[in-house]
Amino acid sequence: MNVVTTALSMSRLVRPISVAPMIDVTNPHFLQMLRIISPRYALYTEMIHSNAIINHREDISRFVGVANEDTVVQLGGCDPGNMALASKIVQDHGFKEVNINVGCPSDRVQHGNFGAVLMKTPHVVANMLNELEKASVQIPVTIKCRTGVDDLDSIEFLHNFIEVQLSSSRPPPHIIIHARKCHLQGLSPRQNRNIPPLDYNRVWHTAKKYPQAAFSINGGFRTTESVIEAISKIDGCMIGREVMDNPMFLQQLDRDVYKIPEVQLQSSASIIDNYLSYVNDFLSAKGHGAHRPSIAIMAKPVMMLYQGGLGRRFRRALGEEMILERKNSKDLAIWNLDRVVYRAMEQVNLNQESDEPKYQRASL
């Protein structure tokens, strides 16, 4: 066994590498494209407030999609009873895991008294875990937090937060730590992802101190080498912006971490074909309901597939084709995403030498 294989086999997580929850990014459609690219990773939904789940309990799919074995639903909220009820609803819809957001620093989230501000009141988070039994929640409920908040940034503060959770009646089996503190005042969410320095050693130390839980580390992982180093030290590694910027990074991980032969990896052409098939099935099932997503939302995952000059040309061509499609069929444009995408690919391939396969015009 090599180092990577040994690390994977020793992890207590079924999927040691995961894709982080990202607002306005990890919606059901983006997660479906990631699932098509590779089936090997845990995929976290964007944070959904517990009230949204409760108020739409009959159909939560517009927020979190349909249940898949690889999907973790991230919930935000501050009311322990509501968080437990929302977790039960998620469970009843077939999902296998819930994660509690204790790391988002945005003003809107702070004003709702959830996200990272909850690190200041660890007993409130523990009460959420305590309420799970009363709500008959049986699936794992995990936590994602920061290393600290504002001036509460000592390792003792982090360890106290974790100890309170592990002392609850339903201790979390898995804790994900973003290896940065956050500033609730003075920094935007984007700045909080970059300005506070990373402190990986604090996470390694914490994971060793509390072996009763599995730990994952999040923050700044943009190369396969850094991911491999992380999973050699801890149960799991969570990747965010690199997958957002380059979804095909999952295939780099397939090659370098899981040693998947190149011939077994899907081409971008096949990924797009499969994603468009998903879109057509999804829209056919939705009909013309009020919650039918726009063509821009459905097209966004495809726009993110290509990088560099080819990516810029493709996104420009796709935007032009979307405008043209809206002019020609205003009411039915959403049904013609496949036509829009294939025409954009033709534009790019006709004017650019590329290693990507040439697209044939779809039957129109």
202-244 confidence digits (pLDDT tens)? 999 999 999 999 999 999 999 999 999 999 999 999 999 999 9
**Which two tokens mark 226?**
């850094």
Closest CA to 236 of 173, 165, 149, 159: 173
Pick from 50-59, 90-99, 320-329: least confident? 320-329
- Map tokens 């979804």 to a residue: 247
Residue linked to tokens 């380059």 = 246
Residue 224 tokens read as 């396969």
Query: Active-site residues: which are they?
Result: 104
Q: Which domains does the chain have, with CATH numbers?
A: 3-264 (3.20.20.70), 268-350 (no CATH)
Query: Could you tell me if 149 and 184 are in contact, meaning their C-beta atoms sit under 8 angstroms apart?
Result: yes
Q: How far apart are CA 66 and CA 159, in angstroms?
A: 36
Report which listed range, 136-140, 333-337, 344-348, is most confident: 136-140
Q: How far apart are the first and last CA of the chain?
A: 52
pTM above 0.85, yes or no: yes
